[in-house]
Homo-oligomer: A and B are copies of this chain.
């Protein structure tokens, strides 16, 4: 069985990462999401176990002690973490895992996974970033905080493997698909086992 790979998608708040991730998960076969854990309060409509695992601060800290997170971070006072076991389960099944995490999370993941593919999504303009935050109904104070975070996060673009501009969403989606599908053609993800032809298989297996 050929193992799957971990794809990390990051973007400043308002960068459109959630919308794009949902489209990819719907359209790309064998690409799965891992539900992350958080201590932040659910927004209207968000469901526990689907959007996030909503944990208390105490529960979350217990899991940190148990080394149960592949990465975790504190953003605006809330904890966010990716459960390690869930990720390993999926890649061992041959599925690709799409992680939507921030810059801090990406840095931790890169330490834990050698073959992670990291993608940074940027808005077409800074104004558009702010507009998207406003549309989402964030409060004035939250927006201010997020703008400052976005400014810092944008500077991390060089740490990523790929950069995708999210101007037209369809175009950005196709770009992301190309990255995922090309990744599946990597030699590290090939095994002569999958070949139907016996002679070819034997030659390549040495």
Contacts and interface: CB of A to CB of B under 8 A. Distances in A.
Interface stretch (A25-33, A57-65, A73-81, A183-191): A183-191
Interface residues of A, number: 36
Given A164-B185, A185-B179, A187-B163, A197 B151 contact: no
A142 interface: no
Number of copies: 2
A98 to B, nearest CB: 16
B123 A200 contact: yes
A126 interface: yes
Most buried by B among A151, A187, A206: A187
B122 A154 contact: no
Contacts of A120: 187
A199 to B, nearest CB: 4
